[in-house]
Amino acid sequence: MKSARNMAIFLDRDGVLNRAIIKHNKPYPPGNLEMVEILPGVDDALRRLKVAGFLLIAVTNQPDVTRGTQRRENVEEINTYLLGKLSLDDILTCFEDGDDPRRKPNPGMLFEAAQKHHVDLLKSFMVGDRWKDIEAGQRAGCTTVFINNEYNERPPSPPADITANSLADATPTILADDHN
């Protein structure tokens, strides 16, 4: 008997779920739990997506751990907090720097989550606020959603399937998508 294939929403963490720390118009992760602020509308958006039948899986690059500018314990504490506060099913983290197969823009974390949770990538979405998130989603075969936080960096190329100003703004379009 074949196992069921789930639909998922893959979500970048910093800048999509929680507020990124902006320095010189570039995003950085919060340094500790006290700096974490869940973005407005995220909790409600995730509940609506969950009710619609999506698995909710965060996939986050955290290379500052390997670079020595962030403690792994802080990243894990933030992830545990978000798992407890939001309707997330899982958070996958890549701590590596450089061209690791799991590190976005590579799609390794999406492939890993798809195997672990029996996800149909072609019926799933990748939501991110940086070109690396969108490229990872495209390479995995997902519909991509770009949260345009107007950072001082290159936009996704090719462009995302959907562009919005926040996860809350993108949710009605995701729910109306007819390929699911």
| 8-state DSSP, 123 | G
Q: How far from each other are the two terminal CA atoms of the chain, in whole angstroms?
A: 22
Of 43, 78, 75, the closest CA to residue 62 belongs to 75
In contact, 50 and 9? CB cutoff 8 Å: no
DSSP state of 135: H
Tokens representing residue 126 in the block: 């990748």
Residue 44 annotated among the catalytic residues of the structure: no
Contact residues for 50 (Cβ-Cβ < 8 A; gap 6+): 56, 87
What distance in Å separates the CA atoms of residue 139 and residue 101, rounded to the nearest whole number? Answer: 12
Q: What amino acid occupies position 119?
A: V
Catalytic residue among 14, 129, 133, 161: 14
Does the active-site annotation cover 14? yes
CA dihedral 138, 140, 144, 148 (to 10 degrees): -70
Catalytic, out of 12, 129, 133, 161: 12
DSSP secondary structure letter of residue 116: H
Catalytic residues: 12, 14
